[in-house]
């Protein structure tokens, strides 16, 4: 089993590495980090320092990683040291918007372009992108957080569009978007105050939820948006 985890230095990425190591036999994990040095080291993990919003880095990564069973992209950003998500359109900042697109949408487009061949073959393979329910247009009832919302909506459209192309070109690959729920990581830290305890998940729980979803889906489910609960979310 060969698995590529993009963003292995993040809260959910680290938990996924640990879950994949215990869930699968004879597993090799290829994992990326960007600015945070890896916390887990082990003979089954091969680390790459990669900026997945830069095409040259993604191309170099593709050359060093073999054929895969799974690619899971956990990279994402919601806030910066000096910038919180917008409460209203008056706070919109083009640079912050561009940073959101670079972290939340662009990497999945580059990864699907350069890793399509790694996921082709006779066996079922998976391409998973971590999205967020907030990127669902149909589910948007409260507004706000414009840059993050738009970037995750762009990611969702990318997944849906690529799934249509891959149904023909690589019909055994399941490509899905995944919503982890509010999870206790650096990304959600500034926004956890009003989250009920039972709605703030551990990265460990979320990693297990994703692996549960992956055991249930087949290529017939490609192009869908799943919640941690296993339910489908409208695009």
Ligand X SMILES: NC(=O)c1ccc[n+]([C@@H]2O[C@H](COP(=O)([O-])OP(=O)(O)OC[C@H]3O[C@@H](n4cnc5c(N)ncnc54)[C@H](OP(=O)(O)O)[C@@H]3O)[C@@H](O)[C@H]2O)c1
Residues forming the site for ligand X (CB under 6 A): 7, 9-13, 33-36, 50-53, 74-77, 103, 130, 132, 180, 182-183, 185-188
The 3-state DSSP class for residue 99 equals: helix
6, 10, 51, 64, 67 from 40: Cα distances, Å: 14, 11, 19, 20, 23
Kindly state the tokens that stand for 187: 């990304």
**Closer CB to ligand X, 74 or 112, in the complex:** 74
**Closer CB to ligand X, 68 or 187, in the complex:** 187
Closest approach of ligand X to the CB of residue 206, in Å:
8
Closest approach of ligand X to the CB of residue 106, in Å:
8
Closest approach of ligand X to the CB of residue 31, in Å:
9
Q: Is the CB of residue 33 less than 8 Å from the CB of residue 47?
A: yes
DSSP string computed for 113-135: HHHTGGG-SSS-EEEEEE--GGG
**Closer CB to ligand X, 146 or 219, in the complex:** 146
Rounded Cα distance between 132 and 148, Å, is 9
Closest approach of ligand X to the CB of residue 186, in Å:
4
**Closer CB to ligand X, 3 or 187, in the complex:** 187
């Amino acid at each position: 089993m060969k698995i590529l985890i993009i963003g292995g230095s993040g809260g959910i990425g680290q938990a996924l590495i640990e879950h994949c190591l215990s869930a699968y036999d004879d597993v090799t994990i290829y994992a990326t980090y960007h600015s945070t040095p890896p916390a887990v080291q082990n003979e089954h993990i091969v680390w790459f320092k990669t900026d997945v919003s830069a095409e040259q880095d993604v191309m170099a990564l593709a050359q060093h990683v073999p054929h895969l069973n799974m690619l899971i992209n956990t990279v994402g950003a919601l806030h910066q040291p000096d910038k919180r998500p917008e409460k209203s359109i008056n706070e919109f900042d083009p640079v912050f918007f561009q940073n959101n697109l670079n972290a939340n949408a662009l990497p999945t487009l580059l990864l699907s372009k350069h890793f399509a061949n790694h996921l082709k073959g006779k066996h079922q393979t998976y391409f998973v992108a971590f999205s967020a329910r907030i990127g669902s247009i149909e589910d948007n009832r409260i507004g706000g957080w414009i840059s993050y919302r738009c970037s995750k909506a762009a990611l969702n459209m990318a997944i849906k569009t690529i799934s249509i192309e891959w149904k023909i070109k690589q019909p055994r690959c399941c490509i899905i978007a995944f919503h982890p729920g509010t999870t206790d990581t650096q990304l959600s830290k500034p926004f956890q105050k009003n989250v009920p305890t039972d709605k703030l998940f551990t990265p460990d729980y979320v990693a297990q939820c994703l692996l549960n979803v992956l055991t249930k889906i087949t290529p017939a489910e490609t192009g869908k948006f799943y919640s941690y609960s296993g339910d489908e979310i409208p695009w």
